[in-house]
Structure 1
Amino acid sequence: MEAEAQVHRRRGVIATIGTLAVLVVLGIFVVRVVYYTKLIRSGELDPSSLSFTSAYSVSAALAGQPIEDGTFDLATVYDPSLGSRTAAVTIVEFADFGCPYSRESSFVIRELALQYPEDVRFIYRDFPLSDIHPIAQKAAEAGECAQDQGKFWEYHDKLYQNQNDLTQDRLVEFAAELNMNAYQFETCLDSGRYADEVIEDYQAGVEAGVRGTPTFFINGNRIAGAIPKDILDAVIQSVLNREEE
């Protein structure tokens, strides 16, 4: 009986320690976000120096490759976008539908797109990490097929909301659930119509120093990793303020 009580006490201590550890990590993260946000808004920190690689899926094939510094013009007129084409801030995201950090960023992007419809243009480009997420290439092609039917962003949301259930059959089923022409969609996907375009996105990202997902280019400046909403909001405000000066 006493031995059983000791086991329960031990488990309780372990659970308490685990909870405290989670709270400490969460507290450090919150402090970091508040600190960076304050520095960005005061102009003391250059947003292009930021990195969030703790929330970043890295391709093993690319991890050791050198990265060139500089700004990169990666905006396109044909990739899916939100916001005005004349916006002062252009944010290009390289993402992977199978990446949990890209999923995290997807909600942030959707929220800020509503907040800044005229000031910010968001552009989505594909960077499938097929060595980590085998379905990534096909999911990216499926997104392009959805774009054909004017449903990219709805499909984008659907894939990220069902990230743990991505198979080729499910990619087609999701399209049907969004009232797309299922035959047209499946024909597009099976034919590999957009395979080369997805690969072109990937190669453009590699040349610009993308080594994992998500990676953002804010007016050409690269930031790796999932950017917390408050920090991304502060970065946008910082750029907009500079534009007004």
Structure 2
Amino acid sequence: MSSRRKSARDRARRELGQNFLVDRGVVRRLVGLLDPSPLPIVELGAGRGALTRELLGTGRPVTAVELDPHWAGALRETCPQARVVRCDMLAFRFPAEPHVVVGNLPFGITTAMTRRLLALRGWSEAVLLLQWEVARKRSTGGTMLTAQWAPWYEFRCCGRVRASSFRPVPAVDGGVLKVHRRPRPLLPLVEVKRYQRFVGAVFTGRGRGLAEVVRNVTGHRLRGLPPLPRDLTAESWADLYTATR
């Protein structure tokens, strides 16, 4: 192993906890998940530019967001067609005009970054590389965060990515999560805060089974509910909210 490669891996591990994607097959798979569209692309965590170069091959405008000054500088030289922004992705100002998002998210900020993305209005779809278990749970609706946004977004797990596809190699596999904004939301957007408080109360409420929790939280006695909150579909959450308002 060359000293330069070792230095790059040490830098990623020590400073940012970033795991660079090195599997070209996975890179092509991520880009291939984007819907055909002329919309510009915002790439989060561009790193060495493996995804950046493939995204530029689509012919669409690409903004590459990278915090590390070393890699941001290298991207400006190797990917001059891209707009490179040296910035923490948690602080990046997303464009107001319609766009899509692609990102290899550092595992340590997955939830924080996902939460921020879901609260933004401008993007129509996001292809995100996360920890495998997080991607799997998000797609099945098994987390409070997913349930809180399910009336407005569809979540789909698009496969597992082996840990060996990254450098440095992480302790867990990755997973690909595609998030698509619903063209017809299940609830009006003006209900988002009230609905999310409702979901939080149900997820954290006391009771033996979902029906008892809902009764304790809302005072409504409903039949035919599944055992646990995580068993509800997006449509069921919207119906439950509407039925108990």
- TM-score normalised by length of structure 1: 0.26
Determine which structure has the larger strand proportion and give its number: 2
More helix, by proportion = 1
Question: Which of 1 and 2 has higher RCO (CA within 8 Å, sep 6+)?
Answer: 1
